[in-house]
Structure 1
Amino acid sequence: MKTLSRTLLGSLFVAAAGLALTACSDSAEQAAPPSQAAEKPKPTVTVYSARAEHLIQPMFDRYTEETGVKVRYITDSAGALIQRLKAEGSNTPADLLLTVDAGNLWQAEQAGVLQPIDSNVLENNIPDHLQSANNEWFALSVRARTIVYSTERVDPSELSTYEALADDQWEGRLCLRTAKKVYNQSLVATMINTLGEEKTEEIVSGWVENLATAPHSNDTSAMEAVLAGQCDVTLVNTYYFGRMQKENPDIKLALFWPNQGGRGVHINVSGAGLAKHAKNPEAAVELLEWLSSPEAQHQFAELNQEYPANSEVEPSDFVAAWGDFKADSVNVESAGRLQEEAIKLMDRAGYR
């Protein structure tokens, strides 16, 4: 009887202790501060990018280090990515489309694969002429398409404007990249916007008459033709010149900023827009805002010797050494809006 009583008392003691521990545990959980609660998993932002991997991966890696948000990217040409977004529709994994040239960004907007972005940060960081009128895309870097000339055969005092390259003095001295590339299409489109179609066609026809060689496949090839003495001047995006200059600081080429007494140098952009069916729209916009911030803008532009889209950010020392210039302030959206007209005009002028 005594043994039974001791056993019963022991069991009651253990049960009471267990209830006390349970009560303490419940109380502790209820009193736990919010900081100890399980954090919501951070999303992964998926980017469809027409920019080369070596130009975007360093930025995405840095963003992940700072925020913990992972960035997954898929690279392809702008046209292929736009078509992919259309085909995938609401099933797309893409949150952002990142590409070059305002013409491509405008085409994406017209294809209905982007959606408006409501962001005071982007509005404050990116000038109006470097963004979509409907806020469906924003520039992230700026490139100038300007004149490159031989320092051995051209006195810069001979140069003045894009239009003047159609003059007789440049007969047999001009090289151009093919008209099939969007960069020259955008230049001609903005000329149509400013000068009108008739005047622009007259100028482009003059360029064709002055060609020393058939149009080249890319800007680098056109500059190599200048170095080889096949021609004396050409039109290129500044970062192509920057790449050659980095490889050979003593290169016998130089940049000239045309139209400084008028509309200014033609500029274009790389930029990004929010995918229409983004699965992580808030996280995608936060990434885009970060890319537009002073912290990221300098490095984003420096990776390809471009200019920051954020006007409060200075270019790299390497790019700044090319000198200041007046840039055309026409909205770069016109490069897309008038792209079809530009292509038809170039074809009529015999520019292939």
Structure 2
Amino acid sequence: MKNSVLATFAAVAMASTLATPSLAADEVNIYSYRQPFLIEPLLEAFTKETGIKANVIFASKGLEARIKAEGENTPADLLLSTNVGRLESAKQQGITQPVVSDTLSKNIPAHFRDEGNEWFGLTTRARVIYASKERVAQDSITYEELADPKWKGRLCTRSGQHDYSIGLFSSIVAHKGKEEAKVWLEGVKANLARRPTGNDRAQVKAIFAGECDIALGNTYYMGKMQTNDKEVEQKEWANSVRILFPNTNDRGTHVNISGMLLTKYAPNKGNAIKLMEFLSSANAQQIYAEGNFEYPVLSDVEPSELVKSWGRFKADDLQLNRIAEARQTASELVDIVDFDAGAE
């Protein structure tokens, strides 16, 4: 049966131009939503340090379903993912197992890992406000303030149902409750300059073009624009805004994570845990954070100089499990207020 399943998986992987990881005592197999340029330097460093070969499949969707379908015959030991929603979804689908590790407990703060140790954060990105340097004078802001009528016709954002938006809205639900979050979301909608559209970079472009004065976005997109030598116009967009870290003077700015989990039937469990511990180490955290302009979860490791130039901030330390649990409610509220229709 096992050979049959692996043969089928190999055919699917070849059809999608992905390599099939192998099973061996000195190897570890990874399924990754994170891009090759981020992951490959880390895996090379891990292999150099331990002698354990790391095999990896990269994909943009469907990895949880693949692991679930493979069941006990899965070759996957680890899943590397891009936000807490996906990590929590994998846990709810029953494809994870807890990891007991003093190293992971020491390196990764409690609010950046699952309460049952079934997923762990590796890097963080803050959900911030991009503000026009020319048209916004204030140097601090709160998420609550985004519903203030003074911003009417001045706010841009991407779809309310996007993972990044749902992450932020979920944090509002977790902090304020469903009813207060609904009122807030209605206020934010009323202030939209246009229907929610585009990605985070598109919001900065809209500020540059004068379509809005403030926008929601993730910190790391600023780094991607500031260093984009292929599309130099993005450097102009980035230069037109500055980053404001909401609520940094009270509960803290909402952050999401990239993270990892051990699959339920990991065939190379010991090697997988070694890789997880390595990824939480200072050396790996430095490589990981600098590669995508993100913040390390290991407090002893500094962000890159470019990231530090955006300023210091206090991160919301609410346990991410609580935020993940509010995602369904947040998604329902987006539909209830018809957020993506824009302001009336």
TM-score range (shorter-chain normalised) is 0.7 to 0.9
Write the distance in 2 (CA, Å) between the matches of 1:112 and 1:72: 23
Question: Structure 1: which 4+ aligned runs deviate by more than 3 Å?
Answer: none
Counterpart position of 1:277: 265
Q: Which of residues 294, 304, 309 is equivalent to 1:316?
A: 304
1:154-203 CA deviation, whole Å, 9 max, x = no partner? 1124x521111111111110001112211110111111111111111111
| Secondary structure of 2:275's aligned partner | helix
- Amino acid of the structure 2 residue aligned with 1:76: A
Q: Which of residues 155, 162, 165 is equivalent to 1:184?
A: 165
Counterpart position of 1:131: 113
Identity of aligned residues (%): 42
Q: Which of residues 33, 46, 54 is equivalent to 1:50?
A: 33
- Within-5 A mapping of 1:34-45: 43-45=26-28
On the 8 A contact 2:32/2:56 being kept in 1, the answer is yes
Counterpart position of 2:293: 305
- Within-5 A mapping of 1:131-280: 131-157=113-139, 159-247=140-228, 248=235, 251-280=239-268
Write the distance in 1 (CA, Å) between the matches of 2:280 and 2:246: 28
Write the distance in 2 (CA, Å) between the matches of 1:126 and 1:150: 35
Write the distance in 2 (CA, Å) between the matches of 1:104 and 1:333: 12
Q: Per-residue deviation at 1:335?
A: 2.9
- CA RMSD after TM alignment: 1.3
1:83-107 CA deviation, whole Å, 9 max, x = no partner? 1111111111100011011111111
Counterpart position of 2:47: 64
TM-score, with length taken from structure 1: 0.85
On the 8 A contact 1:156/1:256 being kept in 2, the answer is no
Greater radius of gyration (CA): 1
Q: Which of residues 270, 273, 278 is equivalent to 1:290?
A: 278
Worse-superposed segment, 176-185 or 120-129: 176-185
| Secondary structure of 2:278's aligned partner | helix
Worse-superposed segment, 141-150 or 244-253: 244-253
Give unmatched runs, 5+ long, in structure 2.
1-23, 229-234
1:43-97 CA deviation, whole Å, 9 max, x = no partner? 221111111111111111121122221111111235x111111111111110001
Number of residue equivalences: 310
| Secondary structure of 1:299's aligned partner | helix
Q: Per-residue deviation at 1:42?
A: 5.1
Write the distance in 1 (CA, Å) between the matches of 2:323 and 2:60: 18
- Amino acid of the structure 2 residue aligned with 1:301: A
1:95-135 CA deviation, whole Å, 9 max, x = no partner? 00110111111111111000000110000000000000110
| Secondary structure of 1:191's aligned partner | helix
Write the distance in 1 (CA, Å) between the matches of 2:37 and 2:138: 35
Write the distance in 2 (CA, Å) between the matches of 1:169 and 1:67: 57
Write the distance in 1 (CA, Å) between the matches of 2:160 and 2:33: 20
Write the distance in 2 (CA, Å) between the matches of 1:260 and 1:289: 30
On the 8 A contact 2:148/2:187 being kept in 1, the answer is yes
Counterpart position of 1:24: none
| Secondary structure of 2:135's aligned partner | coil
Q: Which of residues 77, 83, 87 is equivalent to 2:69?
A: 87
Q: Per-residue deviation at 1:303?
A: 0.4
Worse-superposed segment, 244-253 or 203-212: 244-253
- Amino acid of the structure 2 residue aligned with 1:333: N
